[in-house]
Structure 1
Amino acid sequence: MTSRSRTALVLVDVINSFFDPEEPNCYPAAGQVLAPIATLLAAARASGTLVVHAVERHRPDLHDFEWGKLPVHHIEGSDACGFVAGFEPLPGEPVVAKRRYSAFFATDMALMLHEQGIGRLVIVGVKTNCCIRATVQDAFANGFEPIVVREATNSNRPHLAEASLEDIERYFGRVVPLEDGVMALS
């Protein structure tokens, strides 16, 4: 039996779709999170902290319920689903493919983290009011302590990002500055 005292870093949707200006899901502020995420990723890797890459991917040629709300996007194998240069998984870093906003919904994320003795998650990426919030809420529901690093997430709707961070702090976890995120991973 493993104690659940360890921390993991979860990168949510650090894929080309949100950061490549040629992609329709890219928004101007997205790139601002890359330097803080790189700092956190370096700290996690230096300390041997588990790094998980949660990425939205949908199956080609199969209908997806999400298409009722959003245009077809993030099709497996497309350039849009490729990792942003410099943020590719290293050997041993799991990739969790998600078909909804949350990295926990209909994936083995909770099982994998529980089996690794993880109790606390530093969650970063895009978009605060959608995939980050959904992942944080489900992390909390699955018994994890979620921490969101303020500088390492944003949205194309800043007012919703701020409201989401307020809700995360109040109901689900903590919102911390970059310095505290680095300390949590060291």
Structure 2
Amino acid sequence: MTSHPVTALLLVDVINSFFRPGDPNYYPQADQVLEPIRQLLDKARASGTLVVHTAERHREGIYDFEWAKLPVHHIEGDDTIDFVEGFGPLPGEPVVYKRRYSAFYATDMALMLREQNVSRLVTVGVKTNCCIRATVQDAFAGGFEPVVVREATNSNRPHLEEASLEDIWRYFGQVVPLSEGLELLA
């Protein structure tokens, strides 16, 4: 491991479903993360830091085990799974589609990051207590250093958000303010 970790910015589920009123997973607090994410995204792109987008996708007409816990959602071809305008991938920015909460489970995320020599992930998006926590836990288990930017993630269940951030800080990685997240992407 080098003394200067190679960092990537990981955007988790910055898709219409969470941010567009009336869509299945929308909650008003989600909008609060967009400006901090925009700042981090602009900084990463300006500095040449790898930006990775991840989004949940499920297949039309194919049973998914997740339906046992949640209503059917994020079906391929539905516009709820489109990236929020202005937050989608630019050419050269990889997209990793996932069928579970974690961006690492049953995807090629770890392989792709290792091939880019990434060791630290600045992770942002929604929801802190679900997809962010699961992704961070699996990143840690896979030998990556997770960093969550506090202002760039939230949940519609604040008590679970706070508990998840405490767990992340205590057991898996760092929880940092926006200013530190921006420094890590310089």
Q: Give the TM-score range, shorter chain.
A: over 0.9
Identity %: 74
String of CA shifts for 1:41-71, please: whole Å, max 9, x gaps.
0000000000000100001110000000000
String of CA shifts for 1:2-38, please: whole Å, max 9, x gaps.
9693100000000000000020210010000000000
* 1:159 equivalent in structure 2: 159
**Distance in structure 2 (CA, Å) of the matches to 1:65 and 1:150:** 31
- TM (norm. structure 2) is 0.98
User: 1:149 offset after TM fit, Å?
Assistant: 0.2
String of CA shifts for 1:144-185, please: whole Å, max 9, x gaps.
000000000000000000000000000000000000000001
* 2:76 equivalent in structure 1: 76
* 1:89 equivalent in structure 2: 89
* 1:65 equivalent in structure 2: 65
**Distance in structure 2 (CA, Å) of the matches to 1:30 and 1:175:** 18
List runs of 5+ in structure 1 lacking aligned partners: none
Instruction: Let me know the Cα RMSD of the aligned residues.
Output: 1.1
User: 1:133 offset after TM fit, Å?
Assistant: 0.1
User: 1:77 offset after TM fit, Å?
Assistant: 1.5
Q: Give the count of matched residue pairs.
A: 185
The yes-or-no answer on 1:141 pairing with 2:132 is: no
List runs of 5+ in structure 2 lacking aligned partners: none
**Distance in structure 2 (CA, Å) of the matches to 1:77 and 1:7:** 32
* 1:16 equivalent in structure 2: 16
**Distance in structure 2 (CA, Å) of the matches to 1:91 and 1:60:** 27
